[in-house]
Amino acid sequence: MAVTVSTCLKMKAEGKKISMITAYDYTTARLVDEAGIDTILVGDSLGNVMLGLGDTVSVTMEDMIHHCAAVARGTKNALVVCDMPFMSYQASVYDAVVNAGRLMKEGRANAVKLEGGVEVAEHIRAIVNAQIPVCAHIGLTPQGINALGGFKVQGKTADSARKLLEDAHAVEEACAFAVVLEAIPAALAARVSEELTIPTIGIGAGAGCDGQVLVNQDMLGMFHDFTPKFVRRFAEVGDIMREAYAEYDRCVKDGSFPAAEHTYAAPEGILESL
């Protein structure tokens, strides 16, 4: 059954946990979808793990549309949420609505995600009024890396914890259907999750959230540039890939690949007739 925004709200009401994983291409989306994951995030983390940019600041609308459309083609049941890239929504409410619309029309997303709380509440409301579901993202917001001064845990002082609670309520009031909580103390995330009626999706925010999200390449052990404390590697796919590439290299060089079963036979007499 296809997962919708209503499914997510119902899961929260029934105390059922929501799973979310990032994907950026057709093949991975199919595998994630077949595994029964509830929601796929086409994250702007593709700037890190697909494009090697080091952060998400330079990711463009065209990048997001290109990858989201591929993911949408590979997804049957999961809800596809697409990140709005840096500066596609911050400058004006108009930009926010127009660019969210492009991610839906050209990227075939089911919902969009954007970073920020109180300061983007008006943008969220306008996008929702355009019939586009919005997932908010507060706490550590990677697009703001230059303002935040690095990838730092948020909500550790009373002031910043209070601001986080305000942000959470602001995005709920603006009609976001869910909110990602990134890199905040577990007790604070649990408090936010109790206070909100919309689901919280945690990443580095503890088990008290209503769901969890991880970056695909992180949880599969494929990306080693940096590994945040909150990542659990559910497999070491990177090692398997490296071994397979090395084995292929050996087989090409020693002539054992391709073997007869990978080879097309010429019909009898063809070569002799040339």
Q: Which residues form the catalytic set?
A: 182
Closest distance to ligand KIV from the beta carbon of 217 (Å): 10
DSSP string, 63-96: HHHHHHHHHHHT-SSSEEEEEPPTTSSSS-HHHH
Q: Which is nearer to ligand KIV, 35 or 251 (CB)?
A: 35
Min dist CB 149 to ligand KIV, Å, is 19
Contact 95, 126 (CB under 8 A): no
> Closest CB to ligand KIV among 43 and 116?
43
- Smallest distance, ligand KIV to C-beta of residue 30, A: 19
User: What CA–CA distance (Å, rounded) separates 101 from 123?
Assistant: 13
* 191 membership: H or E segment, kind and range: helix 186-195
Give the nearest distance from C-beta 163 to ligand KIV in angstroms: 19
Nearer to ligand KIV, 115 or 172 (CB): 115
Alpha-carbon gap, residue 162 to 117, rounded angstroms? 12
- Listing DSSP states for 41-63 in one string gives EE-TTHHHHTT--SSSTT--HHH
Q: Is 39 exposed, middle or buried (0-12, 13-18, 19+ CB in 10 A)?
A: buried
Provide Rg for the chain, Cα atoms.
22
Q: Least separation, in Å, of the C-beta of 194 and ligand KIV?
A: 21
Residue among 74 and 204 whose Cβ is closer to ligand KIV: 204
Question: In whole angstroms, what is the distance from residue 96 CA to residue 126 CA?
Answer: 8
Contacts of 254 (CB under 8 A, 6+ apart): none
Closest distance to ligand KIV from the beta carbon of 40 (Å)? 11
> Is 198 within 8 Å of 177 (Cβ atoms)?
yes
Handedness of CA 104, 171, 57, 89 (dihedral sign): positive
- How many residues are there in the chain? 274
CB of 58 or CB of 129, closer to ligand KIV: 58
Binding site for ligand KIV (CB under 6 A): 22, 41, 43-45, 83, 137, 180, 182, 203, 213, 215
Residue at shortest CB range from ligand KIV: 43
Measured from the CB atom, the residue of 42 and 170 that comes closer to ligand KIV is 42
Q: Are 21 and 194 in contact (CB under 8 A)?
A: no
